[in-house]
Amino acid sequence: MNNSPDRVFEDILRLLRDDVIPQLEGDALRSQVFGAIFMLKNLQLRVDWGGAPLIDEIRAQDTLFDALRALDPPVDVELPKAPRLAPDTPTGGRLLALRDEGNALVSRFIAEGAGRPAGEPVRVAMDALLSAYMRTELELEIRHTPKPMFAEMSSGKAQGG
């Protein structure tokens, strides 16, 4: 997810409260939506993006960093010396920060490659490791992304399925 959970909750709640409820006819249906609002407010106070996908991404980064250290390319980027996940690593924001710090390092390796000829053995070897990591990262992200509903969101009509 690229948005913060708080911001998403905030706007779902605003939409239901300000736009949906005034359009609904009948107290029974409105009561149900107030129930949904109350439950969402409860969730808002208790949830964060799931830690498991982030942990998988950070592990994939650590695997990449191990491989890059073994390759020892002449690149001026300092890699973490050991796996960054520990049993007591907190979830939520800290995991997100670890994942993003790891990806910033990966991007620096990619930028380093830009200064080297395309067929140079070091670059070829580095690129193979980097692209394998990026494919893994995207697969992990996509595994948690539902099928898009842009036809419905543009037309306001159910598309079936």
Partner 1 sequence: MRAAEVDLNDLAQVEAAWQRHIASTLGPGVAVQRFRRCSEGFSWLTLSFDLEPAPPEGAHFILQIGPPTGLFSPYSVRPQVLALGSLEGSDVPVPRSFWYSDGPEVFGAPYFVTQRLPGDVLLPWSIKRAPAAEAGELMRQFVRILARIHAAPWQERPIAEIGDGIDTHDAALRQIEYWSEHIGRWSPRSFPMLSWAERWLREHAPVAPRVSIVHGDYRIGNFLQAEGLVTGILDWEMAHLGDPHEDLGWACLPMFNSGSRELAALIPRSQVYELYEAECGIRVDPASVRFYEAFALYKSVAINLGAVRCFEDGRFHDLRMAAMGTQVAPTLRQLYKTMEAAL
Options 11-19, 32-40, 44-52, 69-77: segment touching partner 1 (CB under 8 A):
11-19
Looking at the Cβ atoms of 1 and 71, the one nearer to partner 1 is 1
- The only residue of 31, 32, 42, 107 in contact with partner 1, by rule CB under 8 A: 107
What is the C-alpha separation between 129 and 15, in angstroms, rounded? 45
134 binds partner 1, rule: CB under 8 A = yes
Q: How far is CA 31 from the centre of its chain?
A: 34
- What is the helix (H) or strand (E) element at residue 9, kind and residue range? helix 5-14
Q: Token pair for residue 16?
A: 């239901």
Which structure tokens are listed for 70? 């073994």
Binding mask 50-89 for partner 1 (x = CB under 8 A): ----------------------------------------
Stretch that binds partner 1, among 22-30, 40-48, 85-93, 133-141 (CB under 8 A): 133-141
104 CB burial (10 A radius; 0-12, 13-18, 19+): exposed
